Copies of this chain bind each other. A is one copy, B any other.
Amino acid sequence: MNESLDRIFNAKSIAVVGASTDPKKPGHEILKNIVDIGYKGKVFPINPKADQILGFKCYKSLSEVPEPIELVVFVVPAPVTLKIVEEELIPRKKKFNDTVGVVMVGGGFKETGTKEGKEREKRLKELLNSVGIRLIGPNCQGIIDTTSKVNTTFDVGDYRKGGVSVITQSGALSCSFLMWAKAHDLIGLDKFISFGNMADIDVVEVMEYLADVPTTKVIWVYLEGYNDGKKFLEVAKKVSAKKPIIVLKPGRTQAGAAAASSHTGAMAGEDQIWDAVFKQTGIIRAYTLQELYHTTRAFEKLPLIRGNRIAVLTVCGGLGTLCVEEIASSRYLRMASFSEEAKRRLREILAPTATVGRPDGYIDMTGSVTEKLHYEALKIVLNEDGVDGVIFLTTPPAFLPQREWAIELAKAYNSQPEDRKKPVIAVLGFGDSAIESKRTLEENGIPAYDFPEIAVRVMDNMVKYYLYREKAQEA
């Protein structure tokens, strides 16, 4: 276990240099979010002009704080930051040996592309390194821990606890994305780290740490660049054998690389090399924010899949057709196949207009379906040896009670033995009335998506990871 990271995520006291009384300023938002998330440790706002902010006593400088400070957040301009580090933080650290890490929120360093900015970043790193203080940033939002309730971001306050940990170079992007995800309430967060320019603590160190954190089930990474491909490869291989890593990384194109460079000073490098690295390490590369979001939440929610044969069970021929098409165009998925016995039983229970096994692995129950048939059909399909996972699709028929059919479907899913549970993904989305069906499915462990192409992409990513794990375990 990485001790400094573990102490940072569990810091018992936080000082905020540049704390502000103005609710419009990040230096105020950070304090507000510390309160919102329910942090129980000590908080020391540093502001020479205020007596107190949000009920916390203010100090004029770091030097004045009479108690140990484990984590310091800087929300002041770059030159001021350097001055305070040199004149206040380092002497303190030498005296009390208290501070483990700092979060540098502001920019003005390497990402500016200027000589001055680069030198400033180098100097900052040297200063902190000389006294053994670890650096998160600069040009970042810092960390959130939903267990210890440490929070240094100015965007995200309270967040539902769960199994997803986030590593990101773009604080604004990932924070906003989390807030959007929060509105849907379908992702639970474990730990979050935004390190912007990654001058010290970097993606490899955090991945390695998270592999050892039992509460982290899935690791989500937004990466703009990393210099040491070999080190990344070695560590990612080990981490990926333990838990899935999903990466969103721009830089596929020269223009994208140029924009990334002006954003965090990252060198995107050759994208083909990154693609090879992701392939060798079993990392799932998401190409869009949607794919990142939906793949992550599927991994958090579902059991790992153990094969690539997918059955398609639909109530709507149009959606079913689109889904089969996407499966046939996917990288890893194949249509499942049904035994003669299963096909016979399905034909027996379903309406005469239903289609069974045309193509193989496909069932169109048609609109003549009942609530109960949702249970019975899925049950038969899940029991088949030739099926590793199921995509269920519907445009919920107006005449079926919304909660009931969803409960029947979930009953079949949850009646599977835990140790051999096969994942089921639903596609429904359409219609106002589907909201209740959706919620019922999600509450019972089945992710419900709006569109077949997303369900297929997610299933494809799950199989990709399964294939990597199989190989890694054989070796």
A324 x B255 contact (CB < 8 A) = yes
Take A262-B355, A316-B172 as given contacts and tell me if A252 and B325 are in contact as well, using a CB distance cutoff of 8 Å: yes
Indicate with 1 or 0, residue by residue over A249-264, a CB within 8 angstroms of chain B CB atoms.
0111111101110111
CB distance from A327 to the nearest CB of B (A): 7
A322 at the interface (CB under 8 A from B): yes
Count this chain's copies in the assembly: 2
Take A173-B395, A253-B328, A253-B329 as given contacts and tell me if A318 and B222 are in contact as well, using a CB distance cutoff of 8 Å: yes
A325 x B259 contact (CB < 8 A) = yes
A431 x B256 contact (CB < 8 A) = no
Q: Which of A8-16, A337-345, A358-366 contacts B (4 or more CB under 8 A)?
A: A358-366
Q: Which residues of A (161-178) have their CB < 8 Å from a CB of B?
A: 169-170, 172-177
Q: Which residues of A (148-163) have their CB < 8 Å from a CB of B?
A: 154-155
Question: Which residues of B are found within 8 Å of A84, using beta-carbon distances?
Answer: none
Question: Which residues of B are found within 8 Å of A25, using beta-carbon distances?
Answer: 399
Question: Which residues of B are found within 8 Å of A335, using beta-carbon distances?
Answer: 255
B173 x A318 contact (CB < 8 A) = yes
A289 at the interface (CB under 8 A from B): yes
CB distance from A238 to the nearest CB of B (A): 28
Bound-state Cα–Cα, A97 to B317, Å:
37
Most buried by B among A174, A255, A362: A255
A259 x B362 contact (CB < 8 A) = yes
B255 x A328 contact (CB < 8 A) = yes
Bound-state Cα–Cα, A219 to B327, Å:
28
Take A250-B322, A253-B329 as given contacts and tell me if A451 and B289 are in contact as well, using a CB distance cutoff of 8 Å: yes
A180 x B256 contact (CB < 8 A) = no
A273 at the interface (CB under 8 A from B): no
Bound-state Cα–Cα, A112 to B395, Å:
21
Take A24-B399, A317-B262, A453-B289 as given contacts and tell me if A329 and B252 are in contact as well, using a CB distance cutoff of 8 Å: yes
B179 x A430 contact (CB < 8 A) = yes
Question: Which residues of B are found within 8 Å of A253, using beta-carbon distances?
Answer: 324-325, 328-329
Question: Which residues of B are found within 8 Å of A222, using beta-carbon distances?
Answer: 318
Bound-state Cα–Cα, A192 to B465, Å:
43
Question: Which residues of B are found within 8 Å of A452, using beta-carbon distances?
Answer: 289
Question: Which residues of B are found within 8 Å of A398, using beta-carbon distances?
Answer: 29, 154-155
CB distance from A196 to the nearest CB of B (A): 10
Residue pairs across A and B with Cβ atoms less than 8 A apart, 17 shown, are: A23-B399, A26-B399, A170-B316, A170-B318, A177-B395, A179-B430, A179-B432, A224-B318, A224-B321, A255-B327, A256-B322, A258-B362, A262-B358, A263-B317, A287-B453, A289-B322, A289-B450
Chain A interfacial positions (CB closer than 8 Å to B)? 23-26, 29, 107-108, 112, 154-155, 169-170, 172-177, 179-180, 182-183, 222, 224, 248, 250-256, 258-260, 262-264, 287-290, 316-322, 324-325, 327-329, 335, 353, 355, 358-359, 362, 364, 366-367, 395-396, 398-399, 429-432, 434, 450-453
Given contacts A248-B322, A289-B322, could you give 12 more A-B pairs where the C-beta distance is less than 8 Å? A26-B399, A174-B318, A179-B430, A251-B325, A253-B325, A255-B327, A256-B321, A258-B362, A259-B359, A262-B358, A288-B451, A290-B453
